[in-house]
């Protein structure tokens, strides 16, 4: 039978997955709402359907395996996972409240790593030794690479599409791009579900191992992915309108053509990172893609002041989450 703490950790992880859904809903619906292709209510339903549909495709769980190995096994306890989740949920709710599209992926990784390092310190070990350096460096590298890759692919796709559509009548082209934006939004939601649900799957899996309920991280109980995909889809259904406004209107004004290009670039980028098991940030990726379509119009079309503010949030997310995770672990360790 599961221990009380293991049950609490699993419930918290599912709660984080739900929060991740409404926190990151803007990633896949912001442009389709701002271009008025779908109403907000229809957009979140559309995104949620494809968030969950990813369950039937992403069966190798490469991203989940990377997350599960962020902290070395000897420093993983239920207390460590519990503290990491508390930190991640706290930072996610804080940034959501202020409409800042920070990375749910990175706050989860930061909280987990920070609590693991604090636990190593309590044991008298070097905190750095609690971290899987290879996995951590890969994650940190894609804080920079994911938005750059999204931006680059977005610029390429936009230039190709503009050249293909240059002889079309504007009214006809806009009609077609509104239809295509439904497809590109679906593709981005599909990639988002596959990418982000796996991160919580990895956390629940290591909790099951730490609690002695599953022998190794090679054994993923089927209920874990099913629950995680359902939770993130339910969270997406709840919206996240403050961040939708930032993503859809504050970075640059987006047309249906540009929405198609940005969403397609985001989906392609996430497909690449998922293939290699890299837990990249959906938020960073689509933000880079939106900047890319803005830059193609002209550099001044991008509101760089807003973009720089977002960059600060990105830079701070992992260290702040790690600090919160470490503090949470110390409190939990001496109270439980």
Query: CA of 208: how far to CAs of 54, 191, 246, in Å?
Result: 23, 26, 37
> Could you give the residue ranges of the DSSP H alpha helices within the chain?
4-34, 40-53, 62-68, 78-97, 104-122, 133-165, 170-210, 223-237, 241-245, 256-275, 282-297, 304-335
Query: CA of 194: how far to CAs of 111, 208, 282, in Å?
Result: 21, 21, 11
Return the pLDDT at 66.
Answer: 80
Q: How far apart are CA 11 and CA 75, in angstroms?
A: 22
CA dihedral 47, 49, 50, 55 (to 10 degrees): 140
Q: How far apart are CA 54 and CA 64, in angstroms?
A: 14
116-145 pLDDT, tens digit per residue, is: 999 999 998 888 888 888 877 877 788 778
Mean pLDDT, range 184-200, rounded to an integer? 88
Q: How far apart are CA 112 and CA 70, in angstroms?
A: 8
Give the domain extent around 125: 4-335
Return the pLDDT at 293.
Answer: 84
252 burial level (CB within 10 Å; 0-12, 13-18, 19+): buried
pLDDT at 185 over 50: yes
Q: How far apart are CA 321 and CA 292, in angstroms?
A: 28
Q: If you average pLDDT over every residue of the chain, what do you get? A: 83
User: pTM for the complete prediction?
Assistant: 0.84
Contacts of 105 (CB under 8 A, 6+ apart): 195, 196, 199, 279, 280, 281, 282, 283
Return the pLDDT at 305.
Answer: 58
Percent of the chain with pLDDT over 70: 88
Domain count along the chain: 1
- Split at pLDDT 50, 70, 90, the class of 251 is very low
- Asked whether the beta carbons of 207 and 16 are under 8 A apart, the reply is no
């Amino acid at each position: 039978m599961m221990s009380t703490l293991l049950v609490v950790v699993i419930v918290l992880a599912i709660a984080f997955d739900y929060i991740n859904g409404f926190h990151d809903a803007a990633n896949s619906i912001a442009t389709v709402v701002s271009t008025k292709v779908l109403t907000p209510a229809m957009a979140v339903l559309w995104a949620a359907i494809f968030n969950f549909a990813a369950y039937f495709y992403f069966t190798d769980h490469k991203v989940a395996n990377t997350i599960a190995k962020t902290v070395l096994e000897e420093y993983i306890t239920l207390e460590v996972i519990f503290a990491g989740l508390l930190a991640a949920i706290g930072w996610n709710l804080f940034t959501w409240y202020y409409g800042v599209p920070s990375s749910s992926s990175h706050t989860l990784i930061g909280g987990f790593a920070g609590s693991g390092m604090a636990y190593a310190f309590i044991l008298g070990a070097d905190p750095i030794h609690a971290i899987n350096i290879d996995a951590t460096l890969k994650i940190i590298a894609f804080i920079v690479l994911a938005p750059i890759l999204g931006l680059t692919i977005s610029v390429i796709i936009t230039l190709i599409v503009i050249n293909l559509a240059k002889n079309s009548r504007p009214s006809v082209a806009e009609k077609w791009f509104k239809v295509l934006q439904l497809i590109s939004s679906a593709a981005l939601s599909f990639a988002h579900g596959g990418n982000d649900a796996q991160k919580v799957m990895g956390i629940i899996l290591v909790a099951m191992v730490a609690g002695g309920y599953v022998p190794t991280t090679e054994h993923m109980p089927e209920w874990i992915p099913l629950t995680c995909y359902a939770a993130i889809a339910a969270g997406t259904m709840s919206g996240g309108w403050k961040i939708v406004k930032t993503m859809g209107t504050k970075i640059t004004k987006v047309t249906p053509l540009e929405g198609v290009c940005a969403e397609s670039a985001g989906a392609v980028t996430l497909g690449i990172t998922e293939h290699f098991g890299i837990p990249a940030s959906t938020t960073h990726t689509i933000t880079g893609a939106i900047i890319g379509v803005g830059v193609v119009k002209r550099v001044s079309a991008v509101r760089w002041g807003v973009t720089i503010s977002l960059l600060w949030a990105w830079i701070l997310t992992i260290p702040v989450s790690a600090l919160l995770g470490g503090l949470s672990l110390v409190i939990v360790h001496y109270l439980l």
